[in-house]
Structure 1
């Protein structure tokens, strides 16, 4: 399991593409209906122009075209949001399905070392869901400590602990993926849960979805 965005999306099932095609067909159908309505309106306005004057008819037609354009943007936005939700759902499911695999353990080493470097503290406490905590063996922690030392030339001591009390940074489910790291004081926090990473990568993910699924 790789942490790059292309790899995150590469394992997604064909359901997302099926959803994309369905949404595209819905959008095209709506667009055709709007275009037909616009043509009917244009014909009616041409007739009205003979009575009310060409200038007034053009103004009304321009307003109608603007309304149609807004409606089409709304349809496309709704299509993108539905597809975005479907893909993120599959990404989360993919991580949960692989949460006990060696690949996930290797991924945790990267996420832990990244967060430890970000905190810049000599002693760091790792919090995780019960499912992930069981994977944080002394061997895994030593690997992460070595990665930190190799990258920044400083030693760090990593330890694990469950949350004492639920807060906005706690895990909602026992199999939630990712980790949260805190310094000794508990005031400095580096949130590297899967959900936090998806939020940080939101723009890149949407860009990839647009290129991969939404291009006509």
Structure 2
């Protein structure tokens, strides 16, 4: 109506206070939920970061431990292998030395100086055997060298060293197959083997000691 009659406002022109309140509460709730979610997300990220750090530290520690174990195993293996090689080297050197000694002694047979070698071996065996009467056996080549004069010289040497008299004579048995001598008591009960191979076995410890000194002390 004209002249002072006001038109009624359309319901959509202005939101109802109830609706406005609901929206405000809704917006506030959304912001609250959003902030809580952000806080939770930050806390969860912080927790996860700690977990990751912890896992990484454990993994690193385990890796170091496993690395140390592996390293120790490798070092131990290397050490064992070095010792094996050293032993093989010493054994090889020992065998080479023994073979050279055998060859050198074998080359002496037939030479004048070999009589002195046999005299020393016979007297040494006679002292070791410790009987009054002994029989001397040797290889075919050596039996041709051992005569009464050589045996008498050995008897005199035993007497000079021990003060004990001994009677030596050649065995009537077959010749031995190896270089060196074997003395047997006349009753056949005891014997002293002074062949080259057996002498080297007796001297093996001394030879090994010399090899060790040569390898490690001579630098």
Q: What band does the TM-score fall into relative to the shorter chain?
A: 0.5 to 0.7
Calculate the TM-score normalised by the size of structure 1. Answer: 0.68
Partner of 2:165: 155
What's the offset of the Cα at 1:107?
1.4
What's the offset of the Cα at 1:115?
1.2
Secondary structure of 2:145's partner? coil
1:90 to 100, 111, 135: 100
Partner of 2:176: 171
Partner of 2:79: 69
Secondary structure of 2:168's partner? strand
Contact 2:155/2:167 (8 A) holds in 1: yes
1:202 and 2:212 matched: no
Contact 1:84/1:206 (8 A) holds in 2: yes
What's the offset of the Cα at 1:77?
1.5
Structure 1 residues 213 and 107: CA distance shift in structure 2, 3 A:
farther
1:78 to 82, 85, 88: 88
What's the offset of the Cα at 1:86?
1.4
Contact 2:129/2:192 (8 A) holds in 1: yes
- Which runs of 5 or more residues in structure 1 are unaligned? 1-48, 165-169
1:138 and 2:148 matched: yes
Aligned residue pairs: how many? Answer: 160
Q: Output the CA distance in 1 between the equivalents of 2:214 and 2:113.
A: 25
Secondary structure of 2:165's partner? coil
What's the offset of the Cα at 1:211?
2.4
Partner of 1:104: 114
1:121 to 128, 131, 136: 131
Q: Output the CA distance in 1 between the equivalents of 2:187 and 2:137.
A: 14
Q: Output the CA distance in 2 between the equivalents of 1:114 and 1:89.
A: 23
Calculate the TM-score normalised by the size of structure 2. Answer: 0.67
Secondary structure of 1:102's partner? coil
Structure 1 ranges of 4+ moved more than 6 A: none
With a CA cutoff of 8 Å and minimum separation of 6, indicate the structure with the bigger relative contact order. 1
Query: How big is each residue's C-alpha offset from its partner over 1:60-84, in whole Å with a ceiling of 9 and x where there is no partner?
Result: 2111110111111111211222222
1:175-186 → structure 2 map (5 Å cutoff): 176-186=178-188
What's the offset of the Cα at 1:93?
0.3
Q: Output the CA distance in 1 between the equivalents of 2:65 and 2:212.
A: 40
Contact 2:138/2:176 (8 A) holds in 1: yes
Partner of 1:193: 195
